[in-house]
């Protein structure tokens, strides 16, 4: 969208921001990459549009300590991740100028993104200004985002086990899911820490694949905004979002509806409690054994 | 001696091979080299398998030894080297070039005996490429997609595979196949067609001038690395998809009653890559990103008579979640017409 | 799942909070209320100390069942630790169930310092459940079984 580009150039030129995080075109038509622009001349290569699928909020961690403000272009769902990082005091609101960019659903070379098929809406949670367009407001979610989880819940335990073994056995432990995740913002991940006893660079046994993915999903439970980046980046096409959505669904059912990254409340379901909470045994009374 | 056989006989030929055969087969939504068994979906048409055949020679992880502790005694059992003959069927030219890169690393002194044993027991049947992908750029690195360097080479022309053996191992293997004398001139024509297609690819002519030991410091100190690496997540997708990435780590797993020592692929993209007591000498993603491409395009060729450790298979282009790749680096840092 | 190894004895890990459940176990002991020797107790300062990784690590090293015991809700020595632990374990158990791990291998029970009999009863029940389920094959590291 030309308006975003123009506005970013204005803000760069008048010194409001020192740099812009946005997208640039690649060698082909669909391979856009997140990119850094530091002056108006470089902004020549800035693009925004159908192939801007990446969630730029995680990059904010890189620029949080740098001098001056950074302009970041965020889509509606990306602003949830940004808000969550603010809640966790991982980024400083004063260091960023957020342009909320309207989104019609993003694509890659294979077509519409999976994460966009369960679009969470067009509201911007954080912004300094919004540059939207009417077209973007018209598009809606194509499917119920819990559909995949419900389908799995209907299976028997053995079927679920077989399903996840099939999926997780493809894992090559490249860590793309972790590194792209805006909620995985630990400076040193437990799986990178030689002293943790669980550091491992390869999925040597089934157990290690299970453990990595259970713990990764668990660590972001309650903080995961369901931005869908983990499944998008997985080079082995593992449907990782089904793990995160399971946690989201459970928390919604047991502890009340909650969407991470929305509102001012910094307490997530796992950092709060009520005296009337269900006992853990409840999970064994639901669904199929 | 060139021979030919009908393409629909290929399954039969694979099944007739008495030893293990690794071939590209369908596994879920992906095509990977796996030990071929009856009923598997053979996918010889897939030009770059989702996982490289590197796994066969240099698996993602392998046990090296096991220490068992009982009381005050430690029992040590070493892993057996590969003793089984096998055939690697349907490997493409780029991946075969990658084996040569791996050979340079693992077969030079001190020889990696695990790798060497696997290499020795394998017979490679290559398949010349037909239709390239847009992301192929192997010709830049001296790979001829029409003439892979292997024990046996296959070319697909019409409804027939043409085959020729180039080594004793290859001839021995091919002698068991049911083939007939090949029609003359067909393969030459096919090779010409392949060359034409590959020359028309978008990345067919990258300018690699300046990527050598003489320009090492200039490339190393280039201010462009910062912007090139900005979007890099530091995941290992590119290194694990790469047919030539050969870095590994050796780790000990405490089993409770001993130690299982194994080695596994490592990635220079990781923050704990070559981690030392004092920390790491590549503190940010800029240095890690630079390391990968400098290794492929500058360090490796300067020590190996100009042999690049990129083979142009294009897997990193497909796999990178943020669409970063070696072509962008070559274009950004290269000299001359790349800088347009 | 049937027990294929006739010599198989389950390994059961019990995380017990220092203030209630561990004292409860103690009381069971001094009151001569028997519970199976298959249960290995790990004392933790509070049930809230139990990180989901602990549970997985126990399975990794060959546990066939993991049980966590803490003070009754409302009685936590640190006021609210067990309330957080309750939510955490609910979520973890749900995830294990989602991945197809047998139900019953994990359990949470609140045992106070005065409930020696409950401790003994709970452990007897849990061990029986694990015997019925048999060896844990779905969630363990094979290397640890060598």
Most A CBs within 10 A among B49, B233, B259, B266, hence the mutation to make, goes to B233
Q: Are residue A13 and residue A92 in the same domain, yes or no?
A: yes
N-terminal to C-terminal alpha carbon distance within chain C: 21
C62 CB neighbours in chain B (<8 A) are 256
CATH code assigned at C24: 3.40.50
User: How much is the average pLDDT of B125-154?
Assistant: 93
Q: Are residues A113 and A198 in the same domain?
A: no
Q: Chain A closest CA to C143's CA: distance in Å?
A: 8
Mean pLDDT of all residues belonging to chain A: 91
User: CA A172, CA A201: separation in Å to the nearest integer?
Assistant: 9
Q: What's the mean pLDDT when you consider all of chain B?
A: 92
Q: How close does chain C come to A97, measured CA to CA in Å? A: 36
Spatial separation of the C-alpha atoms in residues B240 and B227, rounded to whole Å: 23
Residue in the structure block whose two tokens are 């008579």: B305
Question: For residue A192, is pLDDT > 90?
Answer: no
pLDDT at C3 > cutoff 60: no
**Contacting subunits of A (3+ beta carbon pairs below 8 A):** B, C
* C59, C84, C139: residue with CB nearest A273: C84
B chain contacts of residue A204, beta-carbon cutoff 8 Å:
61, 253, 262, 264
The helix/strand/coil state of A220 is coil
* Average pLDDT across chain C, whole number: 93
Partner-chain contact A283 C97, CB within 8 Å: yes
Residues A182/A227, Cβ–Cβ less than 8 Å: yes
B150-189 in b/e form (b: 16+ CB < 10 A) is bbbbbbbbeebbbbbbeeebbeebbeebebeebeeebbee
Contacts of C146 in chain B (CB under 8 A): 66, 68, 255, 257-258, 260
For residues B11 and C59, what is the distance between their CA atoms, to the nearest angstrom? 44
Q: Which of A94-98, B18-22, B24-28 has the lowest mean pLDDT?
A: B24-28
Task: Give the range among A231-235, B252-256, B302-306 with minimum mean pLDDT.
Answer: B252-256
Which of chain A's residues have a Cβ under 8 Å away from the Cβ of C138? 161
pLDDT tens track for B155-209: 999 999 999 999 999 999 999 999 999 998 999 999 999 999 999 999 988 989 8
Are A176 and A95 in the same domain? no
User: Hey, where are the domains in chain B?
Assistant: 3-199, 213-339
Give tens-digit pLDDT for A81-132.
999 999 999 999 999 999 999 998 999 888 889 999 988 888 899 999 999 8
Q: Is the peptide bond before A266 cis (omega within 30 degrees of 0)?
A: no
Q: Could you tell me if residue C7 is inside a domain?
A: no
Say which DSSP state C101 is in.
Answer: P
* Residue appearing with tokens 């991470």: A260
Closest residue in C to A253 (Cα) is C91
Q: Does the pLDDT value for residue A135 go beyond 80?
A: no
C121: left (phi over 0), alpha (psi -120 to 50) or beta: alpha
pLDDT score at B340: 42
User: Can you give the pLDDT at residue A200?
Assistant: 81
Residue A104 shares a structural domain with residue A197: no
pLDDT of residue B279: 86
What pLDDT is stored for residue B336 in this prediction?
55
Chain B / chain C CB contacts < 8 angstroms: 15
Q: Are A47 and A71 in contact (CB under 8 A)?
A: no
CB contact under 8 A, A246 and C142: no
Last residue of a domain, one of A119, A138, A157: A138
Q: Which residue has the tokens 């519409």?
A: A112
Residue of B nearest to A178 (CA): B235
Q: Give the count of domains, chain A.
A: 2
Q: Does residue C146 lie in a domain region?
A: no
Domain region containing C124: 12-139
Residue B63, phi then psi, degrees to nearest 5: -75, 140
The residue segments making up the domain with residue A227 are 147-284
Q: Touching check for B67 and chain C: CB below 8 Å?
A: no
CB contact under 8 A, B60 and A192: no
Task: Label residues B246-257 b or e (16+ Cβ within 10 Å = b).
Answer: bbbbebebebee
Residue A229's SS3 state is: helix
Instruction: Mark yes or no for CB contact A250/C141 under 8 Å.
Output: no
Query: Minimal Cα distance from A190: which residue of C?
Result: C53
Tokens representing residue B25 in the block: 């087969």
Say yes or no: A55 and A118 in one domain: yes
pLDDT value for C4: 66
Domain annotation covers residue A262: yes
Query: What pLDDT digit, counting tens, does each position of B320-340 carry?
Result: 999 999 999 999 998 754 444
pLDDT at C146: 66
Contact C61 B258 (CB under 8 A): no
CB neighbours (10 Å) of residue B278? Answer: 6
Closest-CA distance, C94 to chain A, in angstroms, reads 5
Does residue C66 contact residue C13 with C-beta atoms inside 8 Å?
yes
Environment class of B337 (CB within 10 Å of its CB; exposed 0-12, middle 13-18, buried 19+): exposed
Q: Work out the average pLDDT over B211-220.
A: 90
Residues C52-80: tens digit of each pLDDT: 999 999 999 999 999 999 999 999 999 99
Share of chain B above pLDDT 70, in %: 99
Chain C residue with the nearest C-alpha to that of B68: C146
- Residue C146 to residue B258, Cβ atoms within 8 A: yes
> B260 vs C143: CB contact, 8 Å cut-off?
yes
**DSSP per-residue letters across A244-283:** HHHHHHHHHHHH----TT-SS----GGG---TTPPPGGGG
Angle between helices A157-168 and A206-219 (to 10 degrees): 100
- Residue-level length of chain B: 340
Of the three residues A115, A138, A161, the one that is the final residue of a domain is A138
Asked if residue B6 has pLDDT above 90, the reply is yes
A109 and A194 assigned to the same domain: no
Is C1 within the bounds of a domain?
no
Residue C104 C-alpha, separation from nearest chain A C-alpha, in angstroms: 8
Strands B122-127 and B86-91: parallel
If asked whether residues A168 and A251 sit together in one domain, one would say yes
For residue C132, what are the CA distances in angstroms to A286, B104, B288, C36, C103?
21, 56, 52, 15, 12
Q: How far is CA B205 from CA A124, A241, B299, B332, in A?
A: 45, 40, 22, 14
Residues of C in contact with B65 (CB under 8 A): none
- The structure's pTM equals 0.92
Does C62 sit within 8 Å of B255, measured CB to CB? no
- Say if residues B307 and B300 touch (Cβ distance below 8 Å): yes
Distance between CA atoms of A45 and A20, rounded to whole angstroms? 12
Interface chains of chain B (3 or more CB pairs under 8 Å) = A, C
Per-residue pLDDT tens for A15-68? 999 999 999 998 888 889 999 999 999 999 999 999 999 999 999 999 999 999
ipTM of the complex, rounded to two decimals: 0.91
Residues of C in contact with B260 (CB under 8 A): 143, 146
Residue of C60, C61, C141, C146 to mutate, testing the B interface (most B Cβ within 10 Å of its Cβ)? C146
3-state secondary structure of A150: helix
Question: Got the DSSP string for A156-214?
Answer: -HHHHHHHHHHHHTT-----HHHHH-SS---SS-GGG-GGGS---SS--SHHHHHHHHH
Task: Please report all neighbours of C, defined by 3+ CB atom pairs within 8 A.
Answer: A, B
Which of B66, B68, B255 has the CB atom closest to C144's CB atom?
Answer: B255
Is residue A174 situated within a structural domain?
Answer: yes
- When divided into structural domains, chain C yields a total of 1
Q: Considering the domain boundaries, does residue A289 fall inside one?
A: no
Residues A164 and A254 in one domain: yes
Phi/psi region, residue B29 (left: phi>0; alpha: psi -120 to 50; beta: rest), is: alpha
Q: Write the CA distances from B294 to A251, B41, B302, B331, integer angstroms.
A: 47, 39, 11, 14
3-state class (DSSP) for residue A58: helix
In SS3 terms, chain B reads as: CCEEEEHHHHHHHHHHCCCEEEEEEEECCEEEEEECCCCCCECCCCCCCCCCCHHHHCCCEEEEEEEEEECCEEEEEECCCCCCCEEEEEECHHHHHHHHHHHHHHCCCCCCHHHHHHHHHEEEEEECCCCCCCCCCHHHHCCCCCCCCCCEEEEEECCEEEEEECCHHHHHHHCCCCCEECCCCHHHHHHHHHHHHHHCCCCCCCCCCCCCHHHHHHHHCCCHHHHHHCCCCCCCHHHHHCCCCCCEEEEEEECCCEEEEEEEECCCCCCCCCCECCECCCCCHHHHHHHHHHHHHHHHHHHCCCCCCCCCCCHHHHHCCCCCCHHHHHHHHCCHHHHC
Chain A positions touching B204 (Cβ under 8 A) are none
pLDDT at A148: 93
Show residues of chain A in contact with B61, CB under 8 Å: 202-204
Residue B5's contacts (CB-CB under 8 Å, 6 or more residues apart) are B13, B160, B161, B163, B177, B178, B179, B180
B251 inside 8 A of chain C by CB? no
Is residue C144 assigned to a domain? no
* Pair A8, A132 in one domain: yes
CA B226 vs CA A37, B289, B331: distances in Å: 11, 9, 15
B327/B107 Cα distance (integer angstroms): 29
Helices within chain C (DSSP H only): 21-30, 52-60, 81-98, 116-133
pLDDT digits (tens, 9 = 90+) for C41-58: 999 999 999 999 999 999
Helix (H) or strand (E) holding A72: strand A70-74
Assigned domain for A206 exists = yes
Residues A153 and A277 in one domain: yes
Provide the phi-psi class of C81: left if phi over 0, else alpha when psi is between -120 and 50, else beta: alpha
Give the integer Cα–Cα distance in Å for B14 and B2.
19
pLDDT for B217 beyond 50: yes
d(CA A68, nearest CA chain B) in Å: 18
Nearest CB partner across the interface for A164, out of C56, C86, C100: C100
CA B317: distance to chain centroid? 15
Q: Please, what is the angle between helix A241-255 and helix A147-154, to 10°?
A: 90
Given A138, A166, A195, the domain boundary residue is A138
């Amino acid at each position: 969208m030309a308006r975003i580009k123009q506005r970013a150039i204005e803000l760069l030129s008048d010194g409001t921001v020192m740099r812009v995080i946005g997208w640039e075109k690649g060698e082909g038509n669909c391979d856009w990459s997140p990119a850094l622009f530091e002056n108006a001349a470089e902004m020549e290569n800035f693009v925004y549009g159908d192939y801007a699928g990446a969630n730029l909020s995680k990059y904010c961690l890189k620029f949080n300590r740098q001098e001056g403000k950074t302009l970041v272009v965020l889509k509606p769902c990306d602003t949830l991740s940004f808000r969550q990082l603010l809640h966790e005091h991982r980024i400083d609101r004063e260091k960023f100028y957020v342009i909320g960019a309207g989104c019609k659903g993003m694509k890659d070379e294979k077509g519409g993104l999976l994460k966009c098929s369960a679009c969470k809406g067009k509201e911007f949670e954080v912004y300094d200004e919004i540059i939207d367009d009417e077209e973007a407001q018209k598009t809606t979610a194509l499917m119920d985002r819990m559909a995949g989880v419900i389908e799995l819940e209907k299976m028997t335990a053995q079927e679920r086990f077989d399903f996840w073994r099939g999926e997780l056995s493809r894992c090559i432990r490249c860590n793309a899911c972790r590194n792209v995740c805006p909620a995985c913002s630990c400076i040193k991940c437990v799986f990178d820490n030689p002293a943790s006893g669980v550091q491992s660079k390869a999925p040597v046994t089934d157990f290690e694949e299970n453990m990595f993915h259970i713990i990764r999903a668990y660590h972001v439970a309650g903080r995961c905004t369901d931005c869908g980046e983990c499944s998008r980046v997985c080079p082995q096409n593992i449907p990782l979002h089904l793990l995160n959505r399971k946690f989201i669904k459970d928390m919604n059912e047991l502890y009340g509806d909650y969407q991470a990254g929305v509102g001012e409340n910094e307490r997530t379901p796992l950092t709060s409690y009520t005296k009337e909470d269900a006992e853990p045994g409840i999970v064994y009374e639901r669904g199929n054994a | 001696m060139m021979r030919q056989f009908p393409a629909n006989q290929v399954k039969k030929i694979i099944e007739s091979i008495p030893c293990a055969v690794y071939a590209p087969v369908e596994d879920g939504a992906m095509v990977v080299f796996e030990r071929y068994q009856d009923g598997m979906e053979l996918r010889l048409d897939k030009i770059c398998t989702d996982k490289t055949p590197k796994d066969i020679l240099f698996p993602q992880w392998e046990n090296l030894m096991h220490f068992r502790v009982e009381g005050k005694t430690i029992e040590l059992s070493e892993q057996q080297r590969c003793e089984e003959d096998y055939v690697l069927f349907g490997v493409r030219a780029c991946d075969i070039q990658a084996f040569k890169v791996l050979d340079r690393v693992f077969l030079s002194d001190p020889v990696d005996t695990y790798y060497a044993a696997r290499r020795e027991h394998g017979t490679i049947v290559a398949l010349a490429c037909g239709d390239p992908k847009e992301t192929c750029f192997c010709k830049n690195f001296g790979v001829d997609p029409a003439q892979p360097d292997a024990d046996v080479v296959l070319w697909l022309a019409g409804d027939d595979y043409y085959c020729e053996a180039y080594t004793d191992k290859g001839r021995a293997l091919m002698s068991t196949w049911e083939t007939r004398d090949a029609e003359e001139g067909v393969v030459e024509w096919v090779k010409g067609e392949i060359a034409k297609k590959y020359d028309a690819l978008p990345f067919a002519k990258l300018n690699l001038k300046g990527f050598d030991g003489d320009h090492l410091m200039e490339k190393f100190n280039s201010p462009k690395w910062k912007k090139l690496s900005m979007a890099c997540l530091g995941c290992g997708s590119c290194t694990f998809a790469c047919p030539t990435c050969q870095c590994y780590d050796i780790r000990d797993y405490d089993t409770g009653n001993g130690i299982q020592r194994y080695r596994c692929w490592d990635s220079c993209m990781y923050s704990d890559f070559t981690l030392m007591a004092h920390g790491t000498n590549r503190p940010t993603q800029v240095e890690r990103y630079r390391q990968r491409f400098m290794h492929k395009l500058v360090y490796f060729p300067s020590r190996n008579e100009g042999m690049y450790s990129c083979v142009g298979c294009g897997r990193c282009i497909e796999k990178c979640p943020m669409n970063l790749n070696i072509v962008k680096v070559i274009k950004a840092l290269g000299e001359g017409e790349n800088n347009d | 799942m049937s027990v294929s190894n006739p010599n198989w004895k389950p390994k059961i890990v019990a995380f017990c909070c220092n203030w209630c459940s561990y004292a409860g176990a103690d009381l069971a002991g001094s009151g001569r209320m028997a519970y199976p020797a298959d249960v290995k107790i790990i004392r933790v300062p509070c049930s809230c100390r139990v990180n989901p990784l602990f549970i997985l690590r126990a399975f990794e090293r060959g546990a066939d069942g993991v049980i966590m015991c803490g003070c009754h809700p409302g009685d936590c020595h640190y006021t609210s630790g067990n309330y957080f632990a309750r939510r955490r374990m609910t979520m973890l158990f749900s995830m294990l169930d989602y991945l197809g791990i047998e139900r019953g291998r994990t359990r949470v029970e609140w045992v106070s310092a005065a409930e020696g009999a409950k401790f003994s009863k709970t452990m007897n029940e849990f061990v029986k459940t694990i015997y019925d389920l048999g060896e844990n094959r779905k969630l363990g590291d094979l290397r640890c079984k060598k």
